């Protein structure tokens, strides 16, 4: 028997040969998960994993399952609340506010929007006119705005 040192916890232990690197099952497990972590963090493995999941996620049967699981997840009350919160924070960032009002402006300037706007105002004027007519019919004041 030889006295060996555990590569994980540093404890000394007796073994037939110091090819035994760990003092216990616990340290062996720890060593394994360390290796795993190291493996997962190497850039080439990260990239391989990304590729794998990209392919995986694109299979129709998986897409459906992913959608389902996401739906369930985002419907949980605490998750809903967190999403609302995060969206609120996002919208309040100055650069986002700026981009949003810019977008809104562009949107309003699209020809079909302008037309819709005009139609909307035409309708409102017509509504006001008929409201005024009704008010007159009933002998009421039209409310200053007509």
- Footprint on this chain of Zn ion (rule: CB under 5 A): 6, 8-9, 11, 23, 27
C-beta of 41: minimal distance to Zn ion in Å?
A: 23
CB nearer to Zn ion: pick between 11 and 82: 11
Cα(130)–Cα(64) distance, rounded to whole angstroms?
52
Q: Is residue 74 within 8 Å of residue 86, measured between CB atoms?
A: no
Q: Which residue number, 25 or 78, has a Cβ lying nearer to Zn ion?
A: 25
Least separation in angstroms between CB 27 and Zn ion = 3
Closer Cβ to Zn ion, 10 or 139, answer by number: 10
**CA 22/CA 31 separation, integer angstroms:** 8
Min separation Cβ 23 and Zn ion, Å: 4
The Cα 15–Cα 34 span in angstroms is 23
For the chain, how many helices (H) and strands (E)? 6, 2
Task: In angstroms, give the least distance from the CB of 5 to Zn ion.
Answer: 9
Which residue lies nearer to Zn ion by CB, 4 or 23? 23
Q: How far apart are CA 68 and CA 112, in angstroms?
A: 37
Using CA atoms, how far residue 30 sits from 34, 37, 125, in Å, is 6, 10, 76
**Residue nearer to Zn ion on the CB measure, 9 or 79:** 9
Question: How many other C-beta atoms lie within 10 A of the C-beta of residue 23?
Answer: 20
């Amino acid at each position: 028997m030889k006295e060996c040192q555990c590569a994980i916890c540093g404890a000394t232990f007796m073994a037939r040969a110091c090819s035994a690197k760990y003092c216990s099952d616990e340290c062996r497990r720890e060593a394994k998960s360390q290796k795993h972590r190291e493996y997962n963090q190497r850039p080439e493995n990260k990239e391989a994993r990304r590729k794998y999941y990209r392919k995986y996620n694109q299979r129709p049967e998986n897409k459906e399952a992913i959608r389902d699981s996401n739906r369930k997840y985002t419907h949980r009350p605490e998750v809903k609340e967190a999403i609302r919160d995060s969206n609120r924070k996002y919208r309040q960032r100055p650069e986002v506010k700026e981009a949003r009002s810019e977008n809104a402006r562009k949107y309003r300037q699209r020809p079909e929007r302008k037309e819709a706007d005009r139609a909307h105002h035409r309708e409102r004027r017509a509504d006001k006119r008929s409201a005024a007519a009704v008010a007159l019919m009933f002998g009421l004041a039209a409310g200053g705005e007509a």
